[in-house]
């Protein structure tokens, strides 16, 4: 399942509401009616943004270590370098899986982690 920020971006891009995004909105507004603040009900708090970023880092690490050729530490270093490279780019191009996942992390709105140690602590 996509995270809250991906779902909200899907609505912005297409003008239509995908079924998954509609379900997210319905559930969020049910929680909002129960008295939960709207940002929290929709999962758009800073904790939600960090969770989305961290999940993207974990996905990137899983992708990199899946073939068993590099360690988790080396994967953290590669992710950190990719984040540093892509965070300053206005329009990120590239369709490889790692670039796509790092774009997800940057789209989360959470401050990017740019050190291997910081990413290693998240993915382990």
Q: What backbone phi and psi angles, to 5 degrees, belong to 111?
A: -60, 130
Q: What string of pLDDT tens digits covers the 124 residues of the chain?
A: 566 666 666 666 667 777 887 888 899 899 999 999 888 888 777 888 888 899 999 999 999 999 889 999 999 999 999 999 888 776 767 778 898 888 888 888 889 999 999 999 999 9
56 and 111 part of one domain = yes
61 and 108 part of one domain = yes
pLDDT computed for residue 8 by the predictor: 66
Q: Which of 77, 70, 82, 87 is nearest to 117 (CA)?
A: 77
The encoded tokens of residue 70 equal 């590099």
25 and 75 part of one domain = no
Whether pTM > 0.75 for this model: the answer is no
The encoded tokens of residue 46 equal 């800073």
50 and 63 part of one domain = yes
Q: What's the domain range around 58? A: 46-123
30 and 50 part of one domain = no
- Integer Cα distance of 9 and 26 in angstroms: 16
Spatial CB neighbours of 5, under 8 Å, sequence gap ≥ 6: 44, 49, 52, 107, 108, 109
Number of domains in the chain: 2
């Amino acid at each position: 399942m996509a995270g809250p920020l991906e779902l909200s971006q899907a609505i912005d891009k297409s003008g239509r509401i995908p079924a998954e995004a509609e379900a997210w909105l319905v559930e969020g507004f049910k929680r909002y009616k129960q008295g939960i603040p709207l940002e929290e009900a929709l999962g758009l708090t800073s904790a939600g943004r960090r969770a989305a970023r961290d999940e993207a880092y974990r996905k990137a690490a899983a992708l990199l270590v899946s073939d068993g050729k590099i360690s988790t530490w080396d994967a953290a270093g590669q992710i950190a370098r990719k984040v540093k490279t892509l965070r300053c780019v206005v329009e990120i191009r590239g369709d490889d899986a790692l670039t796509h996942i790092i774009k997800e992390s940057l789209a989360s709105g959470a401050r990017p982690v740019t050190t291997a140690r910081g990413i290693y602590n998240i993915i382990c």
